[in-house]
Structure 1
């Protein structure tokens, strides 16, 4: 682990955005999306994985003022959240105006607190009826997505500062290759529609993880697999938004109307590098003993801190402003999270000094939450107890002091960290 006590003092640009992020399905509770069904639970468990239904999650639907209070206490000026389709249109063609009004009240609370809103329109979850129709596995549902956005976008547009149409449509654990390709069409539809009602920046968030050949660039199999995965998970998306052309190995290329340049900034979710071991069937399992961290009771995917991923990312996305829309670390040791935040902010500052256009940092997550079937991976700047009370962690206080002052100094660091964290 890098020594944070050796870091120089750094100052961020005056307009830099310090934020936190959540997704409605993970914090609101009782959304009634496809993830909230026993059928979905059974399908997951049939694949040999445990699955817990979200239930009330962090109960943010009822306790949103408590979440705003946390944001204010940390002096954050950006909140990334989602508006949940399953709440707005629980049945096809039937819209819940009470739910819409509830969201608008949330937006007003954020506005009154001086917090900008980065709004995600689809963060993995959608209505059960849409899932039964095939969701994004088919382009036949484009009209359903378009009708929903036509209804909701003009109602919420006055409150939104940054738009994200779709979250992580490139994620292989969530979407098949067919879906990844289809979702580019859905993104183009969303971008064009939002532009009719809003002049604020629009994008879709990419989950970007550099693919590192486990045995280095001289190992041809590791290198081949790393390049293949980079294209099918990263580059196909980047290429499509820049050119309008959808390309994927073993598929005919095609263009999508309205896709070219359908982004005003890069929304990048970035956590880790992936060490690709082409000599294993589980090729993402490359693990270096020297940098391995035991930070959770069971393996998740965050057993290494790699701050150099920030420079890799900045160089890849340098043609437009970059908003880091997710970055965080799941750990039961909050001191490790303090080190993680310090390391990432150091690299972000260095990237800015190098001329890369990073405009903000949004930490994942504001709260410990329901992590897509599990509550073990704790990402939050605040914990949530059994009665849904929020408790700001030292890492949240640390991050809040950075946001308030616009700088990361040794004085701030040493208030919260007195020695290198020790892992059991």
Structure 2
């Protein structure tokens, strides 16, 4: 203790807080500039969630026995496995340049040491058609799914799993090298751990064992991919988790920042003192969450400050509706898309190095135990439509227009007004300087 009066020690901190708050940029209606040339527009999916016709795996087992997160059977999802040519054509029609999916270990190697020729032919054709459509593949090596034979011997508890995983990854990277693939090793490690903890289930000790294995395996995979496919971009996308984000980052991200070529951010919802609806994520009722589009701006800015040398890529962003029904507040998928891209555009204008954006997802799919949350640009009614028709939402035309114009319309004012005191950046938003366009915000309805 210095013995100085308490007010004297507090004043410098208050001055710094006020300066930081005053430095927070005020949003303008229609952010300056366009998305830069070369910006990567994309759509995202995963093969298990969309594919159907899936072989034995941890998740087919969870679905079959009704694990805690499972509310309804898996079935054949939206049958991407047999409809991928037309789905890839839908993505091409949007004007996107990146098509993200996963190459599932459970399909490729249904028995240890045996690679399925039919599965490889399927994935070869998926990648070929993505390229033929003028898009770049973003391939996830692990989207929370592993073969049944791995599950049967203890999953990530077994030290052989990491070596077998890396052998499969090496095989796939060697197969698709030199084709501009953007590689994702593990999708959202924090949520991978969470679902395994609930649905497998695991003890706390097993959770830590799996976490350590994922970290070591990602680090080894990063080095392997750069050796086999020089020049490829490699990352492990991180789920943004509002008040729990520090815990989410500790799953893998914090221990792998030197083994990332870009920060892959998945942003679905935020929170502020006027909007605490993110608590609905605890019950899985994601459609009850009121979006916080401006939170994406703060999240991107925060990760850029932490890792100033790395670019950022929004690997997933989207909004679920309740079984395809309109939101009670009238906020549409197109509103959500424009509002979030407004704030991405603002982040770029303010110096954040964002290189790409993927919408989750191209079509509705199996959201880890339920078809009720509908995220798709194209909606598909799995329960009642045996034809699985892809019906465009209002976001299809909106996304196509934004991509063609390289940004939201000039003078655009977000439908969703920024809330006060955002968890994403409390210093910049809790002192009355929340970024607000000069024009009044349009009502959501």
The answer to whether the 8 Å contact 1:35/1:53 transfers is no
Matches within 5 A, 1:247-396: 261-273=258-270, 299-300=285-286, 303-318=289-304, 319=308, 320-331=310-321, 332-333=325-326, 336-385=332-381, 386=385, 387-396=387-396
CA offsets 1:362-401 (integer angstroms, 9 cap, x no match): 0001001111110000000001242122122211121111
SS at match of 2:299: helix
Relative to structure 1, the CA distance from residue 411 to residue 108 in structure 2 (aligned partners, 3 Å threshold; closer, same or farther) is: farther
2:98 match? 78
Relative to structure 1, the CA distance from residue 289 to residue 78 in structure 2 (aligned partners, 3 Å threshold; closer, same or farther) is: closer
The answer to whether the 8 Å contact 2:140/2:184 transfers is yes
SS at match of 1:272: coil
1:25 match? 48
Over the aligned positions, Cα root-mean-square deviation in angstroms equals 2.9
- The equivalent position to 1:205 in structure 2, one of 237, 242, 250, is 237
Q: Could you tell me how far 1:8 is from its partner in structure 2? A: 5.5
The answer to whether the 8 Å contact 2:33/2:349 transfers is no
Relative to structure 1, the CA distance from residue 375 to residue 413 in structure 2 (aligned partners, 3 Å threshold; closer, same or farther) is: farther
2:439 match? none
Give distance in 2, aligned partners of 1:124 and 1:362. Answer: 19
Please, which runs of 5 or more residues in structure 2 have no aligned partner?
A: 1-26, 197-206, 415-441
CA offsets 1:215-265 (integer angstroms, 9 cap, x no match): xxxxxxxxxxxxxx43332146333113xxxxxxxxxxxxxxxxxx21111
Aligned pairs, number: 364
SS at match of 1:408: coil
| Structure with max Cα Rg | 2
Relative to the length of structure 1, the TM-score reads: 0.78
The answer to whether the 8 Å contact 1:265/1:321 transfers is yes
Give distance in 2, aligned partners of 1:109 and 1:60. Answer: 13
Q: Could you tell me how far 1:98 is from its partner in structure 2? A: 2.3
SS at match of 2:41: strand
The answer to whether the 8 Å contact 2:63/2:70 transfers is no
The answer to whether the 8 Å contact 1:27/1:57 transfers is yes
1:407 match? 407
The answer to whether the 8 Å contact 1:293/1:304 transfers is no
Q: Could you tell me how far 1:115 is from its partner in structure 2? A: 0.7
Matches within 5 A, 1:25-174: 25-32=48-55, 33-37=57-61, 40-42=63-65, 44=67, 47=68, 50-171=70-191, 172-174=193-195
Relative to structure 1, the CA distance from residue 165 to residue 31 in structure 2 (aligned partners, 3 Å threshold; closer, same or farther) is: same
Q: Could you tell me how far 1:308 is from its partner in structure 2? A: 2.8
1:245 match? none
SS at match of 2:345: helix
SS at match of 1:87: helix
Q: Could you tell me how far 1:52 is from its partner in structure 2? A: 2.1
Relative to structure 1, the CA distance from residue 293 to residue 203 in structure 2 (aligned partners, 3 Å threshold; closer, same or farther) is: closer
Give distance in 2, aligned partners of 1:5 and 1:266. Answer: 26
SS at match of 2:237: strand
Give distance in 1, aligned partners of 2:93 and 2:106. Answer: 31
Give distance in 2, aligned partners of 1:292 and 1:264. Answer: 30
Q: Could you tell me how far 1:25 is from its partner in structure 2? A: 0.4
The answer to whether the 8 Å contact 1:41/1:52 transfers is no
SS at match of 2:166: helix
2:216 match? 185
SS at match of 1:54: coil
Give distance in 1, aligned partners of 2:276 and 2:139. Answer: 39
Relative to structure 1, the CA distance from residue 52 to residue 263 in structure 2 (aligned partners, 3 Å threshold; closer, same or farther) is: same
Which deviates the most, 118-127 or 398-407? 398-407
Please, which runs of 5 or more residues in structure 1 have no aligned partner?
A: 212-228, 243-260, 276-286
Give distance in 2, aligned partners of 1:209 and 1:293. Answer: 11
